Amino acid sequence: MPPASSTTEENKEFAIDYVMEKASGPHFSGLRLGDGLLSAVSPSSSPRAPPIPTPSSATDSAKQPFVIGVSGGTASGKTTVCDMIIQQLHDHRVVLVNQDSFYRGLTPEELKRVSEYNFDHPDAFDTEQLLECVDKLKSGHSVQVPIYDFKTHQRCSDSFRQVNASDVIILEGILVFHDQRVRNLMNMKVFVDTDADVRLARRIRRDTVERGRDINSVLEQYAKFVKPAFDDFVLPSKKYADVIIPRGGENHVAVDLIVQHIRTKLGQHDLCKIYPNVYVIQSTFQIRGMHTLIRDRDISKHDFVFYSDRLIRLVVEHGLGHLPFTEMQVVTPTGSVYTGVDFCKKLCGVSIVRSGESMENALRACCKGIKIGKILIHRDGDNGKQLIYEKLPKDISERHVLLLDPVLATGNSANQAIDLLIQKGVPESYIIFLNLISAPEGIHCVSKRFPSVKIVTSEIDVALNEEYRVIPGITDLNVEPYDEDQGTGELRYVQMAVTTYDTSLPVSQRYDNGKVQVTLVWNSRNENSPSSEKLNALANFLWRNGGPRRKSNLIHSVWANFQTSSSNIIFGNRWRHLFGERDFWEHVGGIDVSLAPSGFGQANTKAFDSLLHKLQKYVPYGAAVVDLYAGAGVIGLSLAAARRCRSVKCVEVNKESKHSFEKTVERLPSNLECNISWHHADASVEPISWLVGSEVVVVDPPRKGLEPSLADALQALSSVKPNSKLSGSPFLNDKDEKRPWILRARESSVQYGTRSVAPEEDQQLLPETLIYVSCGWQSFKEDCRFLLANKTWHLHKAHGFNFFPGTQSIEILAVFKRGPGTSTKKKKPGKKKRRPSRGEFTEK
């Protein structure tokens, strides 16, 4: 401990005592009272070294998945155990990554001597790619896992298995414990232990039936490679397992215990999963309420001290629970013997001056007569040199130490204090660091350097701001979720769309550096509601912590939508752009599309792109198209580009979509000879006027299906006779139009192309093709039944698209042709098949 150069040996102790005395006094949980308001201690008032850079996970708000490694001998039942875990965790997102997928493809020379190749050696696997895939999954990114063909001993070059980010990752394989780098990625390691004879029988059955091998080659391979590899590599890795399951999948009790442990871990804070030495006291409404009070800038000094002391005492009690104990028996007043435990005798507290002294009263209240030392980290001048002063018990090396500091921010001061205690002879595992509020940066900093030091805190906040002050979490904003049954609350929905980084990149890479467009659907008519302050606070919180000023910079923009309807319609008609860029670009249907949340867009762009390419095949080249329920005109504009349509009319009731439509048109090919128009209008009002003049009608209605007036107009097309009075849309053609809703629609319309009015021959056209894109199966069935009733239309083709994997929601693309249609199927002569009775199953 270096003394100041100007201090003599005689005055040194006096100087230290003077500094310690001046540093003492009333202090409140690492926070200071100034000008009547509460604020966190600034870096200048609490000297610390320059902040240590932390990994992106320190500030990343994404949830850290729980990684389980499952190993064991060949055919030991690893897959069965994994399936049982997945089934019991059905309410969580769980993915299985099999080590077998990462076999290296054999070279031509190795294929010639495939019987001599050892598939059970660690070198047979591409461990580097395995590490890369798991690391991406842990970071919240989806990956493409290779598919290995065990018959050809090669990877399938044209197909991969898409694995998305999840809550739980199960990594299964015979050698997943062999490489330390792979083991370090796991939160739990499970070894499935099964009798060797049982494993051999299972392997013979699997390799002969599923992998097309000869039984002799299976036995030869087992004796030559599998058994020796098990003894050399698999069995020795058993010592790394946290849990050993005898009998594999037959051991239901062991699997149940594992699942129970996983559920407990999933309920913990992410940092508790990463660092087993971090403990957060269980949150209750009482604890949340006290945190709310001490964070309130208008709280009185008396209340602040009172509620801070209550919280500090809870942290101290929790920390004392981590001390060692000895069993002890006492005789009760009734004469019976009670077996309990005796408290740890060798104990002391050490407070980091100044703020740590605010925790001393709580420690003394819990531990009668406890010795308390002090450590002061003082900055000497402006050169950043740290002088550490201490007053510690002489026998501190023999004691367990409760280190006190109410706020763990960067962790640099804590690291220096812990380092000093270790220099004084205190074992690292004897130190318990108690604090009231922690930032992820501080936990990373301390836990990485001192993994055996236990950290006990009451709450982990989101991060540090630019001034190294702890930022409260989003729950401190007191935003009330919307209750659909009661109709109360403020936040109805949160829509998040991942933006593309570059639309020219392949789909697998397009979103790697993308950001999130956030829309907050607020339960009010407009931004002037009484709860607008909470909305602004929530939007500011998201932008401040995820916007361009943060290293993570995850958020592209923040929007607000105002909705008070009691129906299941997500968005209202009023939008407000709060932060960031207005829109972003996506590439679907062969064109770049500008998307803002106010213009409806499909969530699964890959599936939507497939639907658009299929849809385009049913539109003749050079056709005249009208796109009803058009939104930002994505379907109509993709047809204009792909099918070189001579005209495309897009009709949409949401005026907010106009901006996205205009920006998309700017990126269409310059040589496109097409009359393109967008109209702010309700297609259900005078629908015939929109249908006349087009050969193809595209409808993409909401979940409730077609408006009755539009469905009637489509059914009545057979009786419509195009004439001068009816032809074309009054929204464009009739100069004497007086109706106000049509005049307003004209003002909002936009026109691109060389002709403002369609030629006379086009004005006499009636649709011959109806393309129906449906997101509601029940409403589609009713509309389909209605359209086919009088044989004005017949169903030509229908396709299904799974826009939401894991659900039963299917998007339907149906193509109708005008006229009754003729059946192209011929009945084959033969015996009539018996209709299966109820309960029977027939496989097609």
Q: What is the mean pLDDT of residues 469-494?
A: 74
Give the lowest-confidence range in 420-424, 431-435, 512-516, 700-704. 512-516
Average pLDDT across the chain, whole number: 79
**Cα(136)–Cα(9) distance, integer angstroms:** 57
Looking at the chain, the whole-number percentage of residues with pLDDT higher than 90 is: 25
Higher pLDDT pick, 839 / 513:
513
User: Which residues share a beta bridge with 433?
Assistant: 403, 455
Q: How confident is the model at residue 797 (pLDDT cuts 50, 70, 90)?
A: very high
Higher pLDDT pick, 825 / 626:
626
User: Is 90 exceeded by the pLDDT of residue 355?
Assistant: no
Q: How confident is the model at residue 620 (pLDDT cuts 50, 70, 90)?
A: very high
Contact 739, 601 (CB under 8 A): no
Give the lowest-confidence range in 367-376, 412-421, 758-767. 758-767
Binding positions for S-adenosyl-L-methionine: 602, 629, 652, 700
Looking at the chain, the whole-number percentage of residues with pLDDT higher than 70 is: 80
Question: All domains of the chain, ordered by start, with CATH?
Answer: 9-44+275-471 (3.40.50.2020), 66-267 (3.40.50.300), 479-581 (no CATH), 585-818 (3.40.50.150)
Q: What is the mean pLDDT of residues 601-617?
A: 87
User: Position 792: which residue type?
Assistant: T
How much is the pLDDT for 471?
59
How much is the pLDDT for 568?
62
How much is the pLDDT for 627?
95
Higher pLDDT pick, 206 / 20:
206
Q: What is the mean pLDDT of residues 282-306?
A: 84
User: Is 90 exceeded by the pLDDT of residue 431?
Assistant: yes
Q: How confident is the model at residue 625 (pLDDT cuts 50, 70, 90)?
A: very high
How much is the pLDDT for 14?
41
pTM of the shown model = 0.47
Q: What is the H or E stretch that residue 301 is in?
A: helix 301-320
**Cα(364)–Cα(370) distance, integer angstroms:** 6
Is 775 a known active-site residue? yes
User: Is 50 exceeded by the pLDDT of residue 68?
Assistant: yes
Reported as a single tens digit per residue, the pLDDT across 719-777 is 776 554 444 444 444 555 555 555 555 555 677 764 444 556 666 788 999 999 988 88
How much is the pLDDT for 648?
94
User: Is 70 exceeded by the pLDDT of residue 314?
Assistant: yes
How much is the pLDDT for 384?
46
How much is the pLDDT for 229?
87
User: Is 80 exceeded by the pLDDT of residue 281?
Assistant: yes
User: Is 70 exceeded by the pLDDT of residue 86?
Assistant: yes
Q: How confident is the model at residue 128 (pLDDT cuts 50, 70, 90)?
A: very high
Q: What does the block give as tokens for 403?
A: 């280190």
Highest mean pLDDT among 700-709, 725-734, 832-841: 700-709
Contacts 24+ apart (CB under 8 A), 37-44: 37/297, 38/294, 38/295, 38/296, 38/297, 38/299, 38/304, 39/297, 39/469, 40/407, 40/469, 40/470, 41/355, 41/407, 41/469, 42/467, 42/468, 42/469, 43/467, 43/468
Higher pLDDT pick, 298 / 191:
191
Q: What is the H or E stretch that residue 84 is in?
A: helix 78-88
How much is the pLDDT for 25?
38
Reported as a single tens digit per residue, the pLDDT across 97-120 is 999 899 988 888 888 888 788 888
Reported as a single tens digit per residue, the pLDDT across 162-177 is 888 888 999 999 999 9
Catalytic residue (one of 133, 367, 650, 775): 775
How much is the pLDDT for 468?
57
How much is the pLDDT for 650?
92
How much is the pLDDT for 728?
46
**Cα(401)–Cα(620) distance, integer angstroms:** 81
User: Is 70 exceeded by the pLDDT of residue 207?
Assistant: yes
Binding positions: 602, 629, 652, 700
Q: What is the mean pLDDT of residues 53-61?
A: 36
Nearest in space to 694 (alpha carbons), one of 732, 659, 735, 665: 732
User: Is 70 exceeded by the pLDDT of residue 35?
Assistant: no
Q: What is the mean pLDDT of residues 59-83?
A: 79
Q: How confident is the model at residue 38 (pLDDT cuts 50, 70, 90)?
A: very low
Determine if residue 499 is left, alpha or beta; phi over 0 gives left, psi from -120 to 50 gives alpha, anything else beta.
beta
How much is the pLDDT for 424?
92
Give the lowest-confidence range in 54-63, 534-543, 808-817. 54-63
How much is the pLDDT for 411?
85
The DSSP string of 432-469 is EEEEEEE-HHHHHHHHHH-TTSEEEEEEE-SEE-TTSP
User: Is 50 exceeded by the pLDDT of residue 7?
Assistant: no
Q: What is the mean pLDDT of residues 669-674?
A: 87
User: Is 70 exceeded by the pLDDT of residue 449?
Assistant: yes
Higher pLDDT pick, 598 / 77:
77
